[in-house]
Amino acid sequence: MKLLGIDYGLKRVGLAVMDTAAPIALPLRTITAGSLEGAVEAVAAAVIVEAADKIVVGRPRRLSGAGGPGEMERAVDKFIAELRKRVSVEINTEDERLTTDLVERERREAGLTKKQFDKDAAAAAVLLESYVQRQSRK
């Protein structure tokens, strides 16, 4: 099964792919989307190009869990609702708290500059691997 991971942001959307037969997520690219509609259109096209069977979208929950969904979590929910109108594949979410911090630490440890490293696509890969690991424990 081929998975498409999405690290949704208001300015950039990171994409990663994984084939569950060889569960290693690969950062794909980052889309610069000027609008929600542009992001949905670009991701819908990536679903076709990558022949994705399932989508996993990072959902940024608050660390405290209190106070209901935050602004970015609501934006992700809106993105998912619009994406569901455009694609017929299953869409799941994965908690993406701290993925950006993790990939930023990995970038520094690897000695790469910010220009040499696509942190949004890398974050999408981390959330895909997290999703698959969580699913395998169920």
Q: Which residue has the higher pLDDT, 62 or 112?
A: 112
- Of the candidates 33, 110, 67, the one whose C-alpha atom is nearest the C-alpha of residue 6 is 33
Domain that holds residue 18: 2-137
Q: Do 57 and 92 form a contact (C-beta atoms < 8 A)? A: yes
Q: pTM for the complete prediction? A: 0.88
Backbone angles phi, psi at 91, to 5 degrees: -120, 125
User: Based on the structure, what is the number of domains in the chain?
Assistant: 1
**Integer-rounded Cα radius of gyration of the chain:** 14
What does the alpha-carbon distance between residue 67 and residue 3 come to, in Å, rounded to a whole number? 32
- Whether 62 has a pLDDT exceeding 70, the answer reads no
- Of the candidates 8, 15, 13, the one whose C-alpha atom is nearest the C-alpha of residue 128 is 15
Which CATH number belongs to the domain containing residue 16 in this structure?
Answer: 3.30.420.140
Q: Which residue has the higher pLDDT, 116 or 4?
A: 4
| Predicted local confidence at residue 31, as pLDDT | 95
